[in-house]
Amino acid sequence: MRWVLALVQSAALIGLSLPAVAQTPDPELAQGVKQVREGDFEGAVVTLEAVVRRLASVPQRSADLVQAYVQLGVAYVALDQADAARSRFREALARDRGLRLSPTEYSPKVREVFEAARREAPPPARPRKGSRAPLIAIGIGAAAAGVVLATRSGSEAPPAFSGARFGTPVVVCPDGSINVDVPVRILVEAQAGGSSLTISASATLHIVSSAEPGEVGFGSSRGTTVTPAMLASKSKATLAIDTTLLCNNGPGDPGRFNEWSGQVTLTTSAGVFTVETADSLRVNIP
């Protein structure tokens, strides 16, 4: 049995480059860009999501971080995940307000989604009296599972997301399955800040750990829904993020199992937040 995510996209969808950065090349970023160029969009998502998590805390690599977000946006466009693409483009624009995508390097489809993200991006914040530091939203991985910090003096509390875990810790890919969608749910604890919170989009990324060497690190990113999508100010709720894994289990294959980690990205009225599950999902393959 092999887990496969069906993907048929034209390489013509994407542009191939951003201006070079006058720094030692980041090998993981270069790998992600290469995967985008070669049409391995799912692999690019896995690689580049790891890059942006790593570079988010390295100010001297801000240009690389912008490039990684742009290439992530391109990959998500190619995967027909426009909401996730816009969220990554907004992250790039938040770090470079003057960013433009050249029509000679990027396809009309990519530029259309990028410009939609530009229209959605909030205007630059005006400094407020008594406010010396910006609001900082940090997605912390695994055990911390998405802690959000505020350093704005005297401002309202930001939203917080924590406790990400699989609501379906064990699922089954039945023997003889061909392209069968297996439902998967991730639960996240949400705390709205001083304002009501709207969740406009969600995206999930699952990465497999397998006894089969050829499957280790394989990623799956499919359509999702999130409920509830709105929280009143200062209220709490358990978010249910529903998605699927694509199951293929050839008749008579030896029984085994895979384990998957999970990552959720939520695009909200207060910004984009990424949390990772503290546990894993077991997929039994009888």
Q: Are residues 154 and 263 in the same domain?
A: yes
Show the low-confidence residues of the chain (pLDDT under 70).
1-23, 122-156, 209-222
Q: Are residues 146 and 269 in the same domain?
A: yes
CATH of residue 37: 1.25.40.10
Q: Are residues 89 and 194 in the same domain?
A: no
Q: Are residues 53 and 166 in the same domain?
A: no
Instruction: Give dist(CA 41, CA 281) in Å, integer.
Output: 23
Determine, yes or no, domain membership for 1: no
Instruction: Give dist(CA 165, CA 279) in Å, integer.
Output: 6
Determine, yes or no, domain membership for 127: no
Pick from 85, 120, 155: which residue ends a domain? Answer: 120
What is residue 255's DSSP assignment?
P
Determine, yes or no, domain membership for 259: yes
Residue 226, phi then psi, degrees to nearest 5: -130, 135
Pick from 67, 96, 120: which residue ends a domain? Answer: 120
Q: Are residues 50 and 192 in the same domain?
A: no
pLDDT at site 150: 32
Q: Are residues 150 and 69 in the same domain?
A: no
Determine, yes or no, domain membership for 177: yes
Instruction: Give dist(CA 283, CA 245) in Å, integer.
Output: 10
Residue 166 and residue 280 in contact, taking contact as beta carbons nearer than 8 Å:
yes
Please tell me the total count of domains within the chain: 2
> Can the peptide bond before residue 228 be classed as cis, meaning omega within 30 degrees of 0?
yes
CATH of residue 203: 2.60.40
Determine, yes or no, domain membership for 129: no
Q: CA torsion, points 188, 51, 215, 260, in degrees to nearest 10?
A: -10
Instruction: Give dist(CA 90, CA 108) in Å, integer.
Output: 18
Write out the residue range of the structural domain in which residue 169 sits. Answer: 135-285
Instruction: Give dist(CA 199, CA 271) in Å, integer.
Output: 9
Q: Are residues 163 and 264 in the same domain?
A: yes
Q: Are residues 115 and 176 in the same domain?
A: no
Pick from 62, 89, 120: which residue ends a domain? Answer: 120
Residue 278 and residue 142 in contact, taking contact as beta carbons nearer than 8 Å:
yes
Determine, yes or no, domain membership for 270: yes
Q: Are residues 21 and 47 in the same domain?
A: yes
Q: Are residues 66 and 170 in the same domain?
A: no
Instruction: Give dist(CA 35, CA 39) in Å, integer.
Output: 6
Q: Which of 205, 210, 173 is nearest to 186 (CA)?
A: 205
pLDDT at site 58: 84
Residue 276 and residue 165 in contact, taking contact as beta carbons nearer than 8 Å:
no
Q: Are residues 148 and 281 in the same domain?
A: yes
pLDDT at site 1: 39
pLDDT at site 101: 84
Q: Are residues 62 and 167 in the same domain?
A: no
Q: Which of 258, 255, 191, 181 is nearest to 223 (CA)?
A: 181
Determine, yes or no, domain membership for 65: yes
